[in-house]
Structure 1
Amino acid sequence: MVLARTLILGGARSGKSTRAEQLLADHQDVLYVATGGLRDGDAEWAQRVRLHRERRPGSWRTAETCELEAVLADASDPAPVLIDCLALWLTAVMDEHRAWEDEVWYGGGEAAVTARCEALAKAWAAGGRTAVAVSNEVGMGVVPATAAGRRFRDTLGRLNMAVADASEKVLLVVAGQVLTIKSTDV
């Protein structure tokens, strides 16, 4: 059984997306929100997207969007939502605000990205539908060599904390094994 809000964290290729799909497998109608886009010309990425699509039940719907706040606030759609993933969403937000560049980050980009993260965390906390979100746990690895890499890691860490705080369940997936980090009764 899925609780109202579940956050699934893990490293790259740890099995977190598969676990998220398993949590919602009993639901005929699920809105699968893919935040990664298609990345024109990247054959390896296209293969990943294809495998994800083939793995999902045919009755599930897919939305390719980074407008997660609107998806979570949509009271007209009672279907559970699976967001895959918050790290790719944050990448898109940082791209949108050119926040990878030091002069932009310190010239207002940080505030813009922080505002979007806070809006997403607020929408997650207020959401009235069953929701599962996947995100990368990037704080356990090597410290990134670039300022942009460190700001991404730090911002994602703060976003993951805010979403985890508002979740009834938080899982960590390591090598396909699931560890429960948080579980509260709804």
Structure 2
Amino acid sequence: MNRSGKTLHAQKLAAQFGGRITYVATAEPGDDEMRERIAQHRAARPAEWQTIERPMHIGVVLVRCDAEVVVLDCVTLLVSNVMLAAGETAATAQVEAQVRREIDNLLDAWHGAQFNMIVVSNEVGMGLVPTYPLGRTYRDVLGRANQQLAQAADEVIFMVAGLPMRVK
């Protein structure tokens, strides 16, 4: 059973669009739990969908993509991957700039493309304020990345308890 239903809803939307579908997964199998989650996600996707597993530099993938629909799952892990690559001692401004560059490159590739794109992300700013500086930086940087993507999107859906709520 999935948690909020974001990925399942994204997959249903992609299937409704039809055509060639490319699924870009940003998760990395860092431990047994993540390996199991990734395996479950793979098994849940139709076999005819192309899957590209890439933790960062999504714009490079999108530029070369010939699909009619792209599902990016998920920005939450993409931002985490960029932050981890920067290192725990990286300055907040440096991390913010690297994430912004990643999202800018993604948007540039998306806007220059001929496919529909479905982007999955989490809204982590609605929870408790993290007690550690790195956690607060992550929450803030992801929140700004989500805002940037939402502004560029034609439609934004917020998933709550498996129910889609149209925001834009």
**TM-score normalised by structure 1 residue count:** 0.80
RMSD: 1.9
Provide the C-alpha distance between the structure 1 equivalents of 2:93 and 2:47, rounded to a whole number of angstroms.
45
| Number of the residue aligned with 2:141 | 155
Indicate which of 79, 88, 91 corresponds to 2:77.
Answer: 88
Contact 2:96 2:141 in 1 (8 A): no
Evaluate the alpha carbon distance shift between residue 159 and residue 110 of structure 1 in structure 2; reply closer, same or farther with a 3 A threshold.
closer
1:20-76 alpha-carbon deviations (Å, 9 max, x no partner): 00101242521110101222xx222111111111111110111001221122223x6
Evaluate the alpha carbon distance shift between residue 144 and residue 81 of structure 1 in structure 2; reply closer, same or farther with a 3 A threshold.
same
Provide the C-alpha distance between the structure 1 equivalents of 2:163 and 2:98, rounded to a whole number of angstroms.
36
Contact 2:158 2:164 in 1 (8 A): yes
1:166 corresponds to 2:135: no
Q: Which runs of 5+ in 1 are unaligned?
A: 1-11
**Higher RCO (C-alpha 8 Å, min separation 6):** 1
Q: What is the 5 A alignment of 1:24-35?
A: 24-26=14-16, 27-35=18-26
Contact 2:68 2:114 in 1 (8 A): no
Indicate which of 7, 27, 32 corresponds to 1:17.
Answer: 7
Indicate which of 51, 62, 71 corresponds to 1:62.
Answer: 51
Q: Which runs of 5+ in 2 are unaligned?
A: none
Structure 1 runs of 4+ aligned residues shifted over 2 Å read 26-29, 71-74, 106-128
Aligned-residue offset at 1:126: 4.2
Aligned-residue offset at 1:180: 0.4
Provide the C-alpha distance between the structure 1 equivalents of 2:121 and 2:127, rounded to a whole number of angstroms.
15
**TM-score normalised by structure 2 residue count:** 0.88
Amino acid at match of 1:29: R
Larger deviation: 115-124 or 19-28?
115-124
1:36 corresponds to 2:27: yes
Identical columns (%): 37
Contact 1:125 1:167 in 2 (8 A): no
Give the structure with the higher percent helix.
Answer: 2
Amino acid at match of 1:23: L
